[in-house]
Chains A and B, each alone.
Chain A
Amino acid sequence: MNFPLLAFRGVALALALTGALPASASQYETIDYYVQQMIALASANEEAGVLIFREQIENLPRPEPGDARQASPFSQHGQERLAGGQLKEALAAFRQAFIADPADPEIAGALGLTYLRLRRFKEAERLLVYALSLAPTRSASWLALGQVYGQQGDVRRATGAFVNALRFAQDQPQATEQLRQLATADPADAVRIGALQALRATKPAPATKPVPLTDSPPPQPAVPVQPGGDSRHVSEIQTTPSTTTTRDLLGSLKQGLALLAKPADPATAEPTASPAADNGNPGQRIYRRGMPLTCLIVTFQDGKTANLGSGLLVSKDGLVITNNHVIDKAENLAVRCGDRESVARIRKRSKEPDLALLATKLKSKESFILNQTYSQDLIGLDVFVIGNPYGLESTFSTGVISGLREIDGVRYIQISAPISPGNSGGPVILRDGTVIGVATMGLKVGQNLNFAIAAADVIASPIFAPKQMQVRSVSAP
């Protein structure tokens, strides 16, 4: 192909397109238009056109600079959280940084990347496009934007964004390696295809020093390392000629995908205990295991938050026990158990004992086991309470079983562990991790005179679901 002719065509096309933006376009529509043109021209390898639109973006009015000093600690905090995989915390930090200084392309890009990791692709796209309007040659933003498009199945735009990531990379080998990683290891087909096409479309960067005139091999996808895996299919992908159609490529890549490890599903993954979880402190062990199974319950009335309480996850298919008085008069319900949230509906309820069973969408490999023991042997055993008193989530307290009481025909475990409004419906746990009661009420007079409906009465109540819930007797202290 004649390069000067190609370049001329790209310039002419770009010049024609620069005036095509409607006058009434919003701020975002304007910058998105230019960024999309850069993508389209990049995927068509129209380098001159890309540069024209880059110039157009650079000529746009800059947003007012914000307060960089205020933004900096938030940004740093966000980077730490992002590196540690704490995405929600990273989002909160980068948001604060962005609000403090919306003119910093690094912050806007980091916020976009965080949205990408959270799989909130629409938000990610907007933030990354915006970041590129601030710095159209920022390779990291192009790389992340390519992933956003790839995750949504848009190969063409993924390819264009990846081409620009390579084009503008200051460290070409690093950018090439990042794309190779995406081309081989990303679970999304369109990301892998886009990355591979970008690697093939982009020539190696011109060297600044003279190099020997030998044919350097084109960038190839790295072979995924998988113990016991068969790399022959991957070799086939590597030897696919560059003229392969997208459909062929997709088929080949799907074969390669079969060799790649499936990423763990956080919803069903086994919880991994930290080293500290195995130390000798039973409280820490119980908290770490029990906290993800203890739920915050929020009720709504007339579209507003009406009440909050606690609950316990008692089955692998998302059944949650709480007190009836927590969900009384609720029109809608939401629960959060650990990091996971779900809407809930009332499956069963009983006034005496004061219990309710909620159905949620929270599938879990673990759930609390109810302890059916109700005898004087319990008195003096240590108990641990997790709940949300006054909305202070996952509050942990300890005490002992002080007595056994029967009030209005309902058997209660009297405990000395402190509980407050918001603890209602939460688990009272023994050292072996089983639930001996459901925290329900306390005496306003006196000190630490609190009561939990005995698990034995939960088992005897109409809310008990024997096929889904697990039961055990007390283990020797």
Chain B
Amino acid sequence: MNDACRMPALLLAAWIIAMPAALAQDSERNRYFVQQMIEMAATNNEQGVAGMQRMLEQNPRPAAPDQAAARAAFQHGLALFGQDALDAALEAFQQASRDDPGNADAANYAGLVYRKMGRFPEAEAALQQALALEPTRAVAWFQLAQVYGLTNDADRALGALANTYRFAQNQMRAEEILRNIAENEAADILRNAALETLRLFHLPAEAVIVPPLPANPDGIVPMNSAPIPTRAP
């Protein structure tokens, strides 16, 4: 092989070696910006949040090797998710992400499935990926807040909920969702974070005196709560 042929090959090899590192750097960078958005939201630093949002939005959109396949995989994942087939749905959403790394929907749903599976670190990573692609996606912020709430991270749950409200298309609906959580959520961290978020935005909120009890404490299924079939006499 002559030098002229060798040069592109070397460049390709260098790019292949460097690519994971670059991707990892991008991922870390994006994670940093998302975390900054959370921190700044928790102190209602609107300008700071907007600045970090712009940084994320300036990221070039990743190339999509096969957008059509990504769409098909995503739709398949949605159908599986609807059937509560979480493992298969997760695989489909991951496939959609591989086929189109810029597909925020796929990353968001992967995060949702991970959360439902109780795999919180993976859920956090997937949701951060979704937010890096689309930092104003309120649903992803809400999912992320729940992950933090379930992992007892009160500050970040507050920041993520604040961004949920900030970016909600219908803020009155978001406000009512927050109020619902602040009054009815059994998980203390999430409930308190919702209350703090309402206060952060000077929205009316009522702190509960007696917190709501878990709907299903220790896995108990109250037998008398099931509807009793009745037959006409």
Chain B, 182-222, contact with A by CB distance < 8 Å: what is the 0/1 string?
A: 00100011001000000000011010111101100110101
A102 and B173: CB pair below 8 A?
Answer: yes
Q: Is A76 an interface residue (CB 8 A)?
A: no
Q: Is A303 an interface residue (CB 8 A)?
A: yes
Which residues A290-344 have CB closer than 8 A to chain B? 296, 298, 303-305, 308, 334-336, 341-343
B213 and A111: CB pair below 8 A?
Answer: no
Q: Which residues of B contact A335 (CB under 8 A)?
A: 210
Q: Which residues of A contact B177 (CB under 8 A)?
A: 99
Q: Is B4 an interface residue (CB 8 A)?
A: no
How far does the alpha carbon of A305 sit from the alpha carbon of B190 in the complex, in Å? 12
Q: How far is the CB of A474 from chain B (nearest CB, A)?
A: 32
Q: Which residues of B contact A120 (CB under 8 A)?
A: 204, 206
Q: Which residues of B contact A296 (CB under 8 A)?
A: 210, 213
B172 and A391: CB pair below 8 A?
Answer: no
How far does the alpha carbon of A99 sit from the alpha carbon of B210 in the complex, in Å? 24
Q: Which residues of A contact B175 (CB under 8 A)?
A: 126
How far does the alpha carbon of A390 sit from the alpha carbon of B204 in the complex, in Å? 32
Partner of B209, one of A92, A336, A388: A336
Q: Which residues of B contact A26 (CB under 8 A)?
A: 171
B218 and A390: CB pair below 8 A?
Answer: yes
Chain A, 70-104, contact with B by CB distance < 8 Å: what is the 0/1 string?
A: 00000000000000000000001001001100100
Size of interface on B: residues with Cβ below 8 Å to A: 27
A308 and B213: CB pair below 8 A?
Answer: yes
B179 and A28: CB pair below 8 A?
Answer: no
How far does the alpha carbon of A130 sit from the alpha carbon of B170 in the complex, in Å? 11
Given A26-B171, A64-B169, also A392-B209 (CB < 8 A): no
Q: Which residues of B contact A303 (CB under 8 A)?
A: 188, 192
Closest to B201 in A: A26
Residue of A64, A111, A391 with most partner-chain B CB within 10 A:
A391
How far does the alpha carbon of A279 sit from the alpha carbon of B152 in the complex, in Å? 50
Q: How far is the CB of A216 from chain B (nearest CB, A)?
A: 41
Q: Is A27 an interface residue (CB 8 A)?
A: yes
Q: Is A123 an interface residue (CB 8 A)?
A: yes
A102 and B170: CB pair below 8 A?
Answer: yes
A390 and B217: CB pair below 8 A?
Answer: yes
Q: How far is the CB of B142 from chain A (nearest CB, A)?
A: 12
A341 and B188: CB pair below 8 A?
Answer: no
B179 and A123: CB pair below 8 A?
Answer: yes
How far does the alpha carbon of A308 sit from the alpha carbon of B211 in the complex, in Å? 10
A391 and B214: CB pair below 8 A?
Answer: yes
Which residues B152-183 have CB closer than 8 A to chain A? 169-173, 175-177, 179-180
Chain A, 5-33, contact with B by CB distance < 8 Å: what is the 0/1 string?
A: 00000000000000000000011100000
Q: Which residues of B contact A343 (CB under 8 A)?
A: 209
How far does the alpha carbon of A120 sit from the alpha carbon of B176 in the complex, in Å? 13
B176 and A111: CB pair below 8 A?
Answer: yes
How far does the alpha carbon of A393 sit from the alpha carbon of B211 in the complex, in Å? 13
Given A298-B211, A390-B218, A391-B214, also A304-B171 (CB < 8 A): no
Chain A, 35-77, contact with B by CB distance < 8 Å: what is the 0/1 string?
A: 0000000000000000000000000000110000000000000
Q: Which residues of A contact B204 (CB under 8 A)?
A: 120, 122-123, 126
Q: Is A438 an interface residue (CB 8 A)?
A: no
Q: Which residues of A contact B213 (CB under 8 A)?
A: 296, 308, 388, 391, 393
How far does the alpha carbon of A194 sit from the alpha carbon of B136 in the complex, in Å? 44
Q: How far is the CB of B127 from chain A (nearest CB, A)?
A: 21
Q: How far is the CB of B63 from chain A (nearest CB, A)?
A: 31
How far does the alpha carbon of A343 sit from the alpha carbon of B179 in the complex, in Å? 21
How far does the alpha carbon of A391 sit from the alpha carbon of B186 in the complex, in Å? 11
A63 and B169: CB pair below 8 A?
Answer: yes
How far does the alpha carbon of A341 sit from the alpha carbon of B209 in the complex, in Å? 6
23 A-B residue pairs with CB within 8 Å = A27-B170, A27-B171, A28-B171, A64-B169, A95-B180, A98-B173, A102-B173, A102-B176, A108-B172, A122-B204, A123-B179, A126-B172, A126-B204, A127-B176, A303-B192, A304-B189, A308-B213, A341-B208, A342-B209, A343-B209, A391-B214, A391-B217, A392-B220
The 10 closest A-B pairs by CB, nearest first: A122-B204, A391-B213, A102-B173, A341-B209, A336-B210, A304-B188, A391-B217, A334-B210, A390-B217, A130-B172
